[in-house]
């Protein structure tokens, strides 16, 4: 059997291992949710900066120029916490997509109490397909083939082509689109570029994932396309970034 060479991301993690151990000690008294987020991003400086930004403005991921007449698309809704914040703050129509069956149950419970929150039990991508999905809490993904996650429980989930769903739901112009789908953002956004959908979104909040093969190159290409129609508002590299239409 031919052994697989480590990826650039894996090499980077290995080189930063001593720093990671120190940061674990430094943040040992943090909440469980905070430590989970820190671990997912291997205590990257960008994440530390983002955490600091949330202390200054706890609504940094909830601020957008929207109101009760707006349409919001939440791709990777998880249990619906972000969507609930947006509902409480602005009361827009929200289409929340979550393929993880465990997370979707809690999302559906929130939607049951709000007729403007539509819970969709599938993911969005570049094609209509059924895929293996790792069940790993906040890190659950349809794109995770890392060897370190080979023993992670899996299930099969449905993914729908973004352009087809856009047409069927008659979304037209979307006021805010949040994307956090653990590596699947790359094919999704590539499809939006190919089908000329980027310009149909007033504001993007995107989390790119560094562990995805070729993440740096793919992110640069997508950002180049985004910059043709949108302006970067703030950026925490491979954590979160916000773009608004020019």
Q: What is the full per-residue pLDDT of the chain (246 aa) written as tens digits?
A: 456 677 777 777 777 777 778 778 888 888 887 778 777 777 788 999 999 999 999 999 999 999 999 999 999 999 999 999 999 999 999 999 999 999 999 999 999 999 999 999 999 999 999 999 887 655 445 544 544 445 667 889 999 999 999 999 999 999 999 999 989 999 999 999 999 999 999 999 999 999 889 999 999 999 999 999 999 999 999 999 999 999
CB 160 within 8 A of CB 57: no
Write the class of the CATH domain 71-245. Answer: alpha beta
pTM score, two decimals? 0.84
What are residue 70's DSSP bridge partners?
A: none
Q: Where are the domains of the chain?
A: 8-56, 71-245
Q: How far apart are CA 241 and CA 75, in angstroms?
A: 15
CB 92 within 8 A of CB 83: no
């Amino acid at each position: 059997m031919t052994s697989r060479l480590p990826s650039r991301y894996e090499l980077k993690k290995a080189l930063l291992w001593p720093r990671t151990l120190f940061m674990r000690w430094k943040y040992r008294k943090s909440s469980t949710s905070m430590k989970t987020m820190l671990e997912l991003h291997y205590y990257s400086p960008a994440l530390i900066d983002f955490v600091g930004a949330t202390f200054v403005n706890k609504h940094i991921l909830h601020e957008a120029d929207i109101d009760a007449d707006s349409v919001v698309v939440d791709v990777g809704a998880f249990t619906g916490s972000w969507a609930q914040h947006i509902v409480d703050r602005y009361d827009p129509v929200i289409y929340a997509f979550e393929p993880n069956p465990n997370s979707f149950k809690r999302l559906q419970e929130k939607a049951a109490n709000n007729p403007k929150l539509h819970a969709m039990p599938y993911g969005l991508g570049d094609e209509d397909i059924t895929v293996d999905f790792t069940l790993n809490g906040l890190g659950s993904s349809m794109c995770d083939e890392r060897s370190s996650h080979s023993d992670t429980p899996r299930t099969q989930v449905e993914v729908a082509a973004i352009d087809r769903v856009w047409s069927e739901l008659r979304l037209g112009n979307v006021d805010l689109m949040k994307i956090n789908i653990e590596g699947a953002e790359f094919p999704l956004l590539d499809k939006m570029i190919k089908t000329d959908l980027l310009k149909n979104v007033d504001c993007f909040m995107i989390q790119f994932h560094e562990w995805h093969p070729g993440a740096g190159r793919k992110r640069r290409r997508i950002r180049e396309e985004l910059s043709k129609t949108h302006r970067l508002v703030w950026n925490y590299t491979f954590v979160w970034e916000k773009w608004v239409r020019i």
